[in-house]
Structure 1
Amino acid sequence: MHRLIPFLLALAACSSEIPLPPGTVPVYRDTSVPISSIALFDPARYAGTWYEVARFPVAFEKGCVGTTATYAPLPDGGLSVVNLCREGALDGPVKRIEGRAEVTGPGRLTVTFDQVPFLSSPYWVLWVDEGYRTAVVGVPSGRAGWILNRDPQIPADRLAAAKEILDFNGYDVSKLMTVPQGAR
């Protein structure tokens, strides 16, 4: 558990929407640009495992590769969340954090993690392709953003579309980093 404490503290500092002193956490989005979540979001179709193929650098994921997020429907309409990543290398030790996501509006979730019960963070699904194979997620503050895919490798056309969605929502896509994934 003591190895998880720095991870949880970094998570608390970086993923929350609690105002922090200027310069403390990088912001990757021009917050003067309106941000919008997907109107026709279907939590049941969103359930399952997503591979993080690209993200903006955040302290709580520093050194993470092979990152996945798995969602499962809960009886109350929420979703359980299990995030996994490998530390440093695709064969490195696994970090795991569990929580839940509450649907708070169309394409809008509030995520809390069991290990950090006092913290919740808005998680907006900005876009999902028609087949629910690729998703773009952001946060209104612009402190984080992700491109997720159902498979470890994403086709070039869907990656380009995902980057366009981030750009449209004010994100500086030049700061986006590719996340190494192993073969499925």
Structure 2
Amino acid sequence: MHHMPLRRALLATLAVGLAGCAATTPPEGIVAVTPFDVARYQGRWFEAARLDHRFERGMTDVSATYTLLPDGSVRVLNRGFDTAKGAWREAEGRALFTGAPSTGSLKVSFFGPFYGGYHVAALDADYRWSIVVGPDRSYAWILTRERTLSPELRQALTARIQALGIAPEALIWVSHERQDPKP
């Protein structure tokens, strides 16, 4: 009888582990971009739009900077202005390719061994914009190299989001009016 708690703990750990694996594959029907060149992808991106989620709620002026590290992993630095706190916030994470580095499918961790999927679902040929989805369609971002989008590009990217099965009316368009003191 005294082995039951240990067995339960092992099963719980296994369940979390399996959930972690599932969280790093693209959502059904979405295929990550190939060929993908992380050297061209690295650098600073502005978050043009996102679906709402707890860890970015109320944030404006959000950017992500990706830096390729010598071991093949990618340093991720997210920065944004927290309107509720009136202060800049940043989070640093690490991303690893889930397969070949020529496919835009990575897993990102900001908290130790807990990884979430980061899948480049659409990418401009010149790496000027990117649509990223998470482990499911409730996580999506439109990233651009410029702070502002032309109305034509915004319309085109909205149509692409919709084609991926994501409700475009749920997008939050992010304002970029503050000057980041530490770009």
Q: State whether TM-score is above 0.5.
A: yes
- The structure 1 segments of at least 4 consecutive aligned residues displaced by more than 6 Å after TM superposition are none
Structure number with larger C-alpha Rg: 2
TM-score (structure 1 length as normaliser): 0.76
**1:108 paired residue number:** 105
45-54 vs 161-170, greater mean Cα deviation = 161-170
CA distance in 2, matches of 1:171, 1:148: 16
Select which of 88, 93, 98 maps to 1:94: 88
Over 3 Å counting, the alpha-carbon distance change for 1:176 and 1:101 in structure 2 is same
**Would you say the 8 A contact 1:52–1:148 is kept in 2?**
yes
Q: What aligned pairs does 1:58-137 form with structure 2 within 5 A after superposition?
A: 58-88=53-83, 92-105=86-99, 106-113=103-110, 116-137=111-132
CA distance in 2, matches of 1:155, 1:164: 14
1:43: how far off? 0.6
SS at match of 2:47: strand
| Paired positions, count | 153
Gaps of 5+ in 2: 1-17, 21-26
**1:26 paired residue number:** none
CA distance in 2, matches of 1:66, 1:153: 11
**2:3 paired residue number:** none
CA distance in 1, matches of 2:129, 2:161: 13
Identity percentage over the alignment? Answer: 33
SS at match of 1:157: helix
Amino acid in the other structure paired with 2:94:
R
Gaps of 5+ in 1: 1-16, 20-30
**Would you say the 8 A contact 2:61–2:178 is kept in 1?**
no
Amino acid in the other structure paired with 1:118:
P
**Would you say the 8 A contact 2:98–2:106 is kept in 1?**
yes
CA distance in 1, matches of 2:62, 2:144: 11
* 2:145 equivalent to 1:145: no
**1:156 paired residue number:** 151
